[in-house]
Amino acid sequence: MLQNPRLLLAASISIAVHGAFAAALLTQQEEAQLLESSSPFEMVVLAEQRVDLAMPSEGLGGNPQPEPEPEPEPEPEPEPEPEPEPEPETSSESMEDEPVEEIEEESNLPEGESAPASAAEAYVDAVYESSQLNNRRPKYPLKARRKGMEGVVTLQVEVSVLGEPSEISILNSSGYRLLDREARRTVSRWRFHPATQGGQPVTSLVEVPIRFQLKG
């Protein structure tokens, strides 16, 4: 008899525990179903809110209207050019009536005297043919005499203010180098009276002909 009440108590406790466990399972399943059903609903609502937010921007913006172009500034009017002043008219008659003064150059020289000669007229050429200079004639080369060489050599001599030949060149050759060389060697030792201009010695050029000729 004593064991029966204990069995009944244990059985009732077991039933109560199983019932509580079953109730807890049912509660968890219901909450899971509620969560699964609410999740897509919230996503839809968020999507609708995004669409609603985008709509006003399209409605308000639309196609942007072009900004009005600024009106071109008017070009400044060109300033009027000043009219040229009229030139004073000159009367041809008045110009013809005015006498033309003739200016005569007066000479300060006394009568009977002429102007002095110009510098070119006062030029005196150099001189080389003078007994005072004692210039020797060139020697006839022995080889040229044996071969019968004859001819005239024309030399151009630059005479310094001291009367010395500073440069000698051959203007016309005799046709024989031996005669040309002897003439040039001889004249290089000559002395000259220098040319003068206005009484002052100047450098000048002089032509000197040298003839080589065999006798009979």
**Per-residue pLDDT of the chain in tens (216 residues, 90 and over written 9):** 445 677 777 777 878 777 776 676 666 666 555 555 444 433 333 434 444 444 444 444 455 566 667 676 767 676 767 676 766 665 444 444 555 454 445 555 555 555 555 545 688 888 888 777 889 999 999 999 999 999 999 999 999 999 999 999 999 999 999 999 999 999 999 999 999 998 899 999 999 999 999 986
Q: Angle at the Cα of 119 (from 114 to 125), degrees rounded to 5?
A: 120
How far apart CA 203 and CA 121 sit, in angstroms, is 16
Is the full-model pTM beyond 0.75? no
**CATH fold of 123-212:** TolA/TonB C-terminal domain (3.30.2420)
Q: What's the sign of the alpha-carbon dihedral 144, 147, 148, 154?
A: negative
Dump strand ranges (E) for 97-162. 123-124, 151-159
User: 166: part of which helix (H) or strand (E)?
Assistant: strand 165-172
